[in-house]
Amino acid sequence: MTATRNASTTEVADNDFVISRTFAAQRELVFQVWTDPEHMKHWWGPKGFTSPVCNMDLRPGGGMHYCLRSADGQEIWGKFVYREVAAPGRLVLVDGFSNAAGEIVRHPMSPTWPLELLTTITFDDEGGRTKLTVRWGPLPSATEEERKTFNESRASMQQGWTGTLDQLTDYLAEVIKK
């Protein structure tokens, strides 16, 4: 299994962050590893993090509550609320940082990071390969300061999402070998 390791980023007119990667895996499999908590525990999060907790209710109005743990034991919690689940082609969700109880909280290292972000993930079939695209941006309710912080954090977003997609690439290779 091979994937393009260099994810592409596109700046769009409304200033969303967009990143894509093409995987040598069927669309149904890529969608499955995004929507099954037992799969997500193995790859979700940036490099150097594990995901020991991943609870999911995959339906519009349902959500995912997860924990990311760094190598030194620091825990960062997050939460998704699904708006659209259209297997195997699209997920739309609102995501944010949370506490262990699932309550939305501010970013643990950036108090001006947007409280919640709208995320659209598309899974496009490219003849047996899958192009995954993540479009990520602040909700309309975000303050100007939150939008500014988001826009000034693109290098960090690129690094974090690239590491996450690298982990997904490696995990898909393992799943396909089995």
Summarize pLDDT for 120-134 with one digit per residue, the tens. 999 999 999 999 999
Of 106, 99, 110, 104, nearest in space to 81 by CA: 104
Q: Tell me the average pLDDT across 16-38.
A: 97
Q: Return the number of other C-beta atoms located less than 10 Å from residue 144's C-beta.
A: 7
Alpha carbon distance 144, 114 (integer Å): 10
Percent of the chain exceeding pLDDT 70 equals 92
The answer to whether the bond into 88 is cis (omega within 30° of 0) is yes
Contact 53, 67 (CB under 8 A): yes
Summarize pLDDT for 53-86 with one digit per residue, the tens. 999 999 999 999 999 999 999 999 999 999 999 9
Q: What is the CATH number of the domain that holds 42?
A: 3.30.530.20
Domain tally, the chain: 1
Helix pair angle (27-35, 154-177), 10° resolution = 110
Residue 106 falls inside a structural domain: yes
For residue 37, the enclosing domain spans 8-138+166-177
